[in-house]
Amino acid sequence: MKNLILSLILLITSTQSIAEEMYSWEWIKKEPFRTTYLNLVEGHELPEWAVKLNGPSVKSHIINAENTAYNVIKTCKPQDCDDKNLTIFYDPAGATYMLFNGRQTFFIGEPGQPVLDLIVNQHASLHKYSDIRNRLNKTSHKCSK
């Protein structure tokens, strides 16, 4: 009985965290996203705005890919959104991926091709002037671990 109650509590908690629509600076303050994200970007030379997620943002939304509901979190460098921006796909119960577009353009994590394409499309939909597809074609969609 205790296991059933614990399972229900975990299900409700993860459903609540998946359903939240928040700005990037709100996400970085909440666990377990904060720990997951900081572990994801650890070892990468990212600018402060990308690590702290404190740039301009829109509210996150949910998108389904490969039977997974991802929170899509986007932000950019203050006063330079066209050239320096990022998109995060966050699954509280699994993998998290990021497309970073700055001095270099690369993925962090190893999304499969359908998820990778969806991240690019989501990124391009908000950052219309970032020229993300041309930049990625030059790097062959390389992922960074």
- Give per-residue pLDDT as tens, 103-114: 899 999 999 999
pLDDT of residue 133: 79
Distance CA 117, CA 69 (A): 15
pLDDT of residue 4: 45
Number of domains, the chain: 1
Intervals of the chain under pLDDT 50: 4-18, 143-145
Angle between helix axes 113-126 and 132-139 (nearest 10 degrees) is: 140
Q: Is the pTM of this model over 0.75?
A: yes
pLDDT of residue 16: 45
Residue 28 near residue 53 (C-beta atoms within 8 A): yes
Owning domain of residue 121: 2-144
The C-alpha angle 26, 44, 38, rounded to 5 degrees, equals 30
CATH code where residue 50 lies: 3.40.1420.10
pLDDT of residue 145: 46
Q: Across the chain, what does the average pLDDT equal?
A: 85
